[in-house]
Amino acid sequence: MSSSEGEKGEKQSGGMLSNGSIELGRQEGVDDGEVFQKIPGKVDFRTVGWIQASVIFLKVIFATGVLTIPSAMFVLGALPGAINVLGWQGLNTYCAIVQGNFRNRHAGCHSIADMANVVGGTWLKEVVGVLFLVTYAIVGASGIFGTSVALNVLSNHAICTNWFMLVATIAVLILASVRKFENIAWLTWAGFLTVYVAVFIVVVGVTTLDRPAAAPQTGDYEFGYHVIGNPTFVAAITSVSTIFCSGAGTSAFLPVISEMRRPRDYNKAVYLCMGIVTASYLTFSLVVYKYCGQWVASPSLGSAGPTIKKVAYGIGLTGLLVSACLYVHVAAKYLFVRLLRHSEHFQKNTVVHWAVWLGCTTAMSAVSFLLASGIPIFNYLLALAGSLTFSPLALGLPGYLWVYDHQHYRKGKMWQVVVYYLNWLMIALSVFLTIGGTYGVIQNIIDAYSQGLIGGAFSCENNDR
């Protein structure tokens, strides 16, 4: 954060005073306009340390996205795919830091929608709030969908897929209803480790096969490995959106800051998280694509054959559930804060407090269930989230947050002018990805339905493909 940022005065936002800076020298424990106050006799939400925060961030990011990147690399080719992974993860890290710095200068901001209120007023706050809810409903749906795939694999499709999705949704609802991030931190440890181990098993497994498990086991076949692919625009933009989405959940970090003991430790948590994620995404996806070519599965846990598939899904089941739990929890927490923030019930264990909280988690779980059943292709769910909602939330708005606080860069030194317009370029990129990506994903979904590649909405068919 530059020195000029700390010199900004207090800003008035939405009728609520939001301190312009939490100075480094201030005494620990001062609330400084924080959403959750440390008040004797009330529920203390601010109990998360930076290591816990980093693990929560890891589970938000290292989730269902890692399972789709090898398929995207097949479309783009290994080199463009690797460049996309590095480029998007770098941009996502930058945007996460921008959002965190902005939030810590405006401590009353609980979510990306509150930040939108600071820079654009009430109308932008409401638009961004709706986008936020839609985003985490979609990625919550991807977690429910992934869990149903795991249950189909482990049971050999014993019952209708919709029943598995319903079971997954109920489990997600129960886990997401745990009220404080501190209390679900142990879930994030378990969730991250199980998904990481499951993916690692598949990565090792594919290197031991003579030919990909999904390829013809006799005779000649087209392997389909390309250093540089030759995709259509629709296929390319869908794959780019998928890779972008795999690390774009940074707006989910913001509610966690409000529950951190020291919000200033946020940047450390982000760098640790995104460093692990970027290295893992790049190595895991390149190895799986190198050994599977066009025969990579989506989700990729099925790429190493039926036995390893069962082992991987058995281990990764917890992680898939926890991913959906976190997404639903983040969206429900946003609704909860919006509804009760200025109420006496906000930090009290009252009937109203719990009724509103459980109502929020139930509503978000139900919406995610409907989306998972209505768009039963895993990678298209994530690509839709990446283009339609994550592009403006995780790329466009952070760019404008930076521009809002750095207007003086426009007439500053040469390097400051360059940085200023690079942030505007990032905003333009988000507009392109939103329009082009959404078009590409919708066209792919239409084609998949017309070609019979997937069953209809709410189909009982096996989604383990």
pLDDT tens-place string over residues 190-199: 888 998 999 9
Show Cβ contacts of residue 186 under 8 Å, excluding neighbours closer than 6 positions: none
pLDDT value, residue 106? 83
- 208-248 pLDDT per residue, tens: 888 888 888 888 888 889 999 999 998 898 889 889 988 98
Low-confidence ranges of the chain (pLDDT < 70): 1-45, 64-65, 298, 375-379, 381-382, 452-457, 465
List the beta strands (DSSP E) in 6-126: 11-13, 16-18
**Which amino acid is located at 4 in the chain?**
S
Q: How many Å apart are CA 386 and CA 242, to the nearest integer?
A: 6
333 CA to centre of own chain:
15
The whole-number pLDDT of residue 346 equals 82
Q: What's the gap between Cα 101 and its chain centre?
A: 19
Q: Collect all residues with Cβ–Cβ distance below 8 Å to 148 and sequence separation of at least 6.
A: 161, 164, 165, 168, 372, 463
pLDDT for position 458: 73
Which tokens is 431 given?
């507009």
Give strand pairing partners of 143.
Answer: none
Q: What is the pLDDT of residue 46?
A: 74
Give domain limits for the chain.
47-450
Largest CA distance in the chain: 73
How confident is the model at residue 376, as a pLDDT?
Answer: 63
pLDDT of residue 445: 79
pLDDT at 351: 93
Token pair 């700390």 is found at 6
Which amino acid belongs to residue 146?
G
- DSSP label at residue 120: H
The CATH code of domain 47-450 reads 1.20.1740.10
Characterize 301-318 residue by residue with b for buried, 16 or more Cβ atoms within 10 angstroms of its Cβ, and e for exposed: bbbbbeebbbbbbebbbb
CB 290 within 8 A of CB 123: no
